């Protein structure tokens, strides 16, 4: 299966005209397959917005290549196959929700026979039917975000780019947005999420990429990131002595606490060997639990390791 | 008190970092004071002389002397010949041509010294003035300069004219008796022979050349009776409201520039609120966005100018319909030029605030220099040259031709061409700038 987005060696350099160059993107390469929820993560100034802008044709790269749907991203007609929810967007306040969707459909050249029905359907999906004839200037932030989602998916795009989709939305609203994203994924759409809310990303993403200082510092699944260094917490029947500590020196024990300790396991055989050592030394294993690190922890760890732009 | 000082520091910092505010606070007033200073303070170097058409049909030495004095005036420049299109040599201007030049707006005033400028029987000198009061201030100034020149440079003329005025009612024999009686009295008391006195009183023997020697008389109200100005307004005699008709174009252009710049720089607002980004994500080209904005602002400009002229018609009776076709052409040309200015400002600035600050400076300066506020002849010569580089100047010129002189298209062709060309060239440059600029 070809990737819906294929980015190779992308470089974007900003020049302020005073010989001060900023490399916003520094050799970014990644591929995003069809029908997945992909999330782009990174601290402020990592280059996320620049990458999204380039994908959307708002900005152009200094070098490198991007293919969307297997074609050069500069083909303006490809934009018809992309839906976009901008961050902190403001739609014309004098339009109603319904009229905004008609306006957006016109600009996309999306003219199905049943456009009115499609618009009503979209507003229903985002639970905005009741407000369809209300002017946007009267909408709350949450309503604006839902309307933004409706306009992003109105023209039935194959690729949907969502910039901070749950920004300013309450927990119930966030759950609804997550459900909608998963529903779109089930329909075969590819969702590209740019978000700071790592917990949200963790819940919905099939794959992620973490950018830092314009470089991809991680690309893969959330599971791969959070479980690649499996940590197990082992609970014993009694406190361990120095001898057993000595015996376990060859393993990556990260934390000793009375009758418990945590150890990083690279291979399954390591765990079996630890169990064997404990048994040989008359320790009874009361508990063996895998400790999974959170995306947030791994994110922070990665950023610290590769250097934080904000420091 | 400490808090006040801290807050005060914050206020100063906020002001200093707001560049448009700094420009508007210090630079704009300085520039405007400079322009007004040049006009009213006379510190702008050599003030440009006002050109007037001059025709002398009298060979009287006094007429020639008047010409030479007017020639050396610091305020006016006599135009005595002109080159017709297609001709190599300049030709002398006659009275009919002088009238034509005024009627077509090439010059505002023509002064004709007629063949009967001064005759033996004259009780006054006779001058003809043809004028176009499109520029009332200019016309008044010219009239004042001519009068001043006559009064100060030709005082010797006045005794003759005074006596002619006095003896005018003493016709025929009465005059002779009056002269004889006077001669008797003078002869009796001063011992001068009566014949000599009578000879000196014979005006027909006075040589006008002699009159040019010496004398310190100056004029008073009575003097106005001895200089007969035959003034004829050649243009705008039937205009209902000359003041508004003359100035409406200039003001309209200035307000057009304000509104158009605001509309063009709304790109920044759209950028800030994210709607521009949203549009660019759709199958919409940047050029399409720019053209849509360009066409919108042009139509807005056209409608705004139409509304202003209709208002002038409704409230002040300015005649906009007798030459409406040409008026509409000038409106469109002005709108195109004004929009290009707005687009240029938007394309070279980085924010809405910056665009508006810079636009404000340029619009006010262009309006002052370009003739929207006052006639450009008041400016020093070098600044009059600069004024021709402003779109206000050409727009004001074209509106004046259409509304004041009811001119045909041929007479507005040049300003219209300049406005359209400026519009297209500047807008093309703005389009190039937009691609590299900060909007997208």
- Residue B220's pLDDT is 44
- Whether residue B440 lies inside any domain: the answer is no
Residue from B259, B240, B262 nearest B251 by CA: B259
> By the 8 A CB rule, do A79 and A248 touch?
no
Give the per-residue pLDDT at B226: 63
Give the strands of the sheet with A82-85, arranged side by side: A82-85, A159-163, A190-194, A37-41, A207-212, A215-220
pLDDT the model gives residue B40: 66
**Residue in chain B nearest A78 by alpha carbon:** B283
**Average pLDDT of B381-401?**
90
Same domain, yes or no: B149 and B161: no
**Spatial separation of the C-alpha atoms in residues A167 and B2, rounded to whole Å:** 40
Mean pLDDT score across all residues of chain B: 81
Instruction: List per-block mean pLDDT (blocks of 10 residues) for chain A, which spans 311 residues.
Output: 89 79 91 94 90 89 93 90 88 91 91 91 92 93 90 94 86 88 93 89 91 92 75 87 86 83 84 90 88 81 73 44
Residues B26 and B98 in one domain: no
Task: Give yes or no: residues B302 and B324 share one domain.
Answer: yes
- Asked whether residue B208 carries a pLDDT value surpassing 60, the answer given is no
Does one domain contain both B113 and B58?
yes
**Residue B432: is its pLDDT beyond 60?**
yes
Q: Is residue B383 part of a domain?
A: yes
Classify residue B232: in a domain, yes or no: no
B186 and B192 in contact (C-beta within 8 Å)?
Answer: yes
pLDDT of amino acid B178: 75
Task: For residue B139, give the CATH number of its domain.
Answer: 3.40.1710.10
Report the range out of A46-55, B19-28, B75-84 with the highest average pLDDT: A46-55
Q: Which two tokens stand for residue A278?
A: 């404990």
Buried b (16+ CB within 10 A) or exposed e, B177-193: eebeeebeebbeeeeee
| Residue A186 confidence (pLDDT) | 94
By a Cβ cutoff of 8 Å, what residues of chain A touch chain B? 53, 56-59, 76-77, 79-80, 82, 84, 86-92, 104, 107-109, 161
- The pair of structure tokens assigned to B37 is 């200073």
Report the chain B residue with the minimal C-alpha distance to residue A60.
Answer: B440
Round to whole Å and give the CA distance between A8 and A74: 15
Q: What is the ipTM of this complex?
A: 0.74
Q: Is B379 found in the same domain as B405?
A: yes
pLDDT-derived band at B216 (thresholds 50, 70, 90) equals: very low
Angle (CA) B23-B28-B33 rounded to 5° is 150
Q: For B111-168, how does the pLDDT look when each residue is reduced to its tens digit (9 = 90+)?
A: 999 988 876 565 677 888 888 877 777 777 787 888 777 777 666 666 666 666 666 6
Q: What is the torsional sign of CA B294, B295, B296, B300?
A: positive
The last residue of one of the domains, among B102, B118, B153, is B153
Q: What is the DSSP letter of A95?
A: S
Residues of B in Cβ contact (< 8 Å) with A100: none
Residue B240 falls inside a structural domain: no
pLDDT of residue A67: 93
pLDDT at residue B284, as a whole number: 86
Whether B259 has a pLDDT exceeding 70, the answer reads: yes
Q: What is the pLDDT of residue B215?
A: 43
Q: Phi, psi (5° rounding) for residue A203?
A: -75, -30
Same structural domain, B168 and B146: no
Q: How many CB pairs under 8 A join A and B?
A: 47
Global confidence as pTM = 0.70
Final residue of a structural domain among B226, B256, B286: B226
Q: What is the pLDDT averaged over residues B245-268?
A: 86
Residue B221, pLDDT score = 46
Q: Tell whether B424 and B368 lie within a shared domain.
A: yes
> Per the domain annotation, does B326 fall within a domain?
yes
**B281 in the same domain as B251:** yes
pLDDT higher for A48 or B186?
A48
Split into its structural domains, chain B has a count of: 3
Residue B272, in any domain of the structure:
yes
The percent of residues in chain B predicted with pLDDT above 90, rounded, is 19
**Using one digit for the tens of pLDDT, what is the confidence trace for B265-287?**
888 888 777 778 888 888 888 88
Q: At residue B319, does pLDDT exceed 80? A: yes
Q: What is the pLDDT of residue A291?
A: 77
Residues B162 and B121 in one domain: no
**Are residues B361 and B221 located together in one domain of the fold?**
no
Q: CB count, 10 Å around CB of B342?
A: 31
With beta carbons under 8 A apart, name residues in chain A contacting B437: none
Query: Under a CB-based contact definition with an 8 Å cutoff, are residues B123 and B223 in contact?
Result: no
**What pLDDT is attached to residue B415?**
95
Task: Note whether B289 and B403 are same-domain residues.
Answer: yes
Q: Are residues B354 and B426 in the same domain?
A: yes
**A88 contact residues in B (CB cutoff 8 A):** 274
Q: Could you give the count of Cα atoms lying within 13 Å of A93 in the half-sphere of its Cβ?
A: 8
Contact between B279 and A92 using a beta-carbon 8 Å cutoff: no
pLDDT of residue A310: 47
Q: Which residues form the domain of B395?
A: 2-43+247-435
Residue B120 has a pLDDT of 56
**Chain A CB within 8 Å of residue B436 CB:** no
Query: Among the three residues B124, B153, B182, which one is the final residue of a domain in this structure?
Result: B153
CA A153 – CA A136 distance, rounded (Å) = 18
Task: Please tell me the predicted confidence (pLDDT) of residue B209.
Answer: 52
Give how far A16 is from chain B: nearest CA, Å.
11
Give domain status of residue B241, yes or no: no
Cross-sheet strand order for the sheet of B50-56: B76-79, B50-56, B109-113, B125-131, B227-233
B237 in a structural domain:
no
Select from B283, B285, B440 the Cβ nearest to the Cβ of A80: B283
> B238-241 — which CB contacts under 8 Å span 24+ positions?
B239/B319, B239/B404, B240/B316, B240/B317, B240/B318, B240/B319, B241/B316, B241/B317, B241/B318
Sorted by sequence, the CB contacts under 8 Å of residue A200 that are 6+ apart come out as A166, A174, A178
Is B440 part of the contact surface with chain A (CB cutoff 8 Å)?
yes
């Amino acid at each position: 299966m070809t990737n819906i987005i294929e980015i190779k060696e992308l470089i974007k350099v900003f020049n302020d005209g005073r010989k001060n160059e900023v490399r916003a993107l520094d050799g970014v390469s990644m591929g995003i397959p069809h029908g997945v929820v992909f999330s782009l993560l990174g601290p402020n100034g990592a280059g996320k917005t620049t990458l999204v802008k380039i994908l959307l044709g708002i900005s152009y790269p200094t070098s490198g290549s991007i293919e969307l749907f297997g074609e050069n991203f500069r083909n303006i007609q490809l934009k018809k196959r992309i839906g976009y929810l901008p961050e902190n967007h403001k739609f014309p306040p004098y339009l109603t929700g319904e009229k905004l969707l008609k306006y957006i459909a016109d600009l996309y050249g999306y003219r199905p026979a049943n456009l009115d029905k499609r618009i009503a359907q979209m507003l229903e999906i985002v639970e905005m039917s009741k407000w369809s004839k209300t002017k946007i200037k009267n909408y709350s932030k949450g309503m604006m975000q839902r309307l933004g989602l409706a306009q992003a998916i109105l023209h039935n795009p194959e690729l949907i780019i969502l910039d901070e989709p749950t920004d300013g939305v309450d927990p119930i609203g966030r759950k609804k947005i997550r459900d909608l994203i998963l529903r779109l994924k089930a329909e075969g759409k590819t969702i590209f999420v740019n978000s700071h809310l790592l917990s949200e990303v963790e819940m919905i993403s099939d794959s992620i990429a973490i950018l830092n200082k314009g470089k991809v510092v991680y690309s893969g699944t959330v599971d791969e990131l959070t479980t690649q260094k499996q940590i197990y917490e082992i609970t014993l029947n009694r406190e361990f002595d120095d001898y057993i500590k000595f015996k376990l020196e060859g393993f990556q024990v990260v934390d000793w606490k009375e009758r418990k300790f945590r150890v990083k396991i690279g291979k399954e055989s390591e765990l079996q060997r630890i169990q064997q050592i404990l048994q040989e030394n008359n320790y009874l294993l009361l508990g063996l639990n895998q400790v999974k690190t959170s995306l947030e922890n791994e994110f922070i760890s990665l950023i610290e390791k590769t250097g934080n732009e904000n420091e | 008190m400490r808090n006040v000082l801290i807050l005060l520091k914050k206020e100063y910092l906020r002001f200093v970092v707001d560049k448009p505010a700094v420009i508007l606070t210090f630079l704009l007033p300085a520039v405007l004071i400079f322009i007004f200073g040049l006009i009213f303070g006379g510190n702008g170097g050599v003030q440009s002389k006002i050109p007037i058409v001059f025709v002398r049909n009298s060979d009287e030495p006094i007429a020639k002397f008047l010409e030479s004095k007017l020639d050396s005036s610091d305020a006016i420049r006599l135009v005595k010949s002109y080159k017709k299109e297609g001709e190599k040599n300049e030709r002398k201007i006659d009275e009919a041509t002088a009238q034509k030049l005024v009627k077509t707006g090439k010059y505002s005033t023509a002064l004709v010294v007629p063949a009967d400028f001064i005759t033996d029987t004259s009780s006054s000198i006779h001058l003809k003035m043809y004028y176009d009061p499109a520029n009332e201030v200019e016309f008044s100034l010219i009239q004042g300069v001519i009068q001043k020149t006559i009064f100060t440079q030709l005082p010797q003329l006045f005794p003759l004219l005074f006596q002619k005025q006095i003896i005018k009612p003493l016709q025929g024999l009465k005059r002779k008796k009056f002269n004889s009686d006077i001669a008797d009295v003078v002869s009796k008391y001063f011992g001068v022979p009566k014949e000599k006195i009578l000879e000196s009183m014979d005006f027909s023997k006075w040589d006008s050349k002699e009159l040019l020697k010496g004398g310190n008389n100056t004029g008073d109200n009575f003097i106005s009776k001895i200089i007969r100005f035959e003034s004829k307004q050649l243009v705008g005699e039937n205009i209902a409201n000359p003041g508004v008709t003359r100035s409406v174009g200039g003001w309209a252009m200035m307000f057009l520039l304000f509104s158009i710049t605001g509309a063009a720089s709304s790109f920044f607002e759209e950028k800030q609120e994210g709607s521009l980004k949203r549009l660019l994500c759709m199958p919409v080209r940047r050029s399409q966005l720019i053209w849509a904005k360009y066409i919108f602002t042009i139509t807005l400009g056209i409608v705004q100018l139409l509304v202003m002229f209709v208002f002038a018609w409704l409230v002040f009776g300015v005649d906009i319909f007798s030459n409406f076709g040409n008026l509409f052409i000038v409106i469109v040309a002005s709108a195109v030029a004004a929009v290009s200015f707005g687009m240029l400002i938007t394309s070279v600035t980085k924010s809405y605030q910056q665009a508006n600050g810079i636009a404000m400076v340029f619009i006010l300066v262009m309006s002052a220099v370009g003739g929207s506020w006052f006639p450009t002849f008041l400016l020093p010569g070098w600044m009059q040259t600069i004024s021709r580089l402003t779109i206000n100047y050409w727009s004001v010129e074209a509106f004046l031709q259409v509304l004041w002189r009811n001119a045909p298209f041929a007479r507005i062709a040049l300003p219209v061409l300049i406005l359209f060309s400026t519009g297209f060239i500047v807008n093309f440059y703005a389009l190039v700038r937009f691609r590299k600029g900060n909007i997208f």
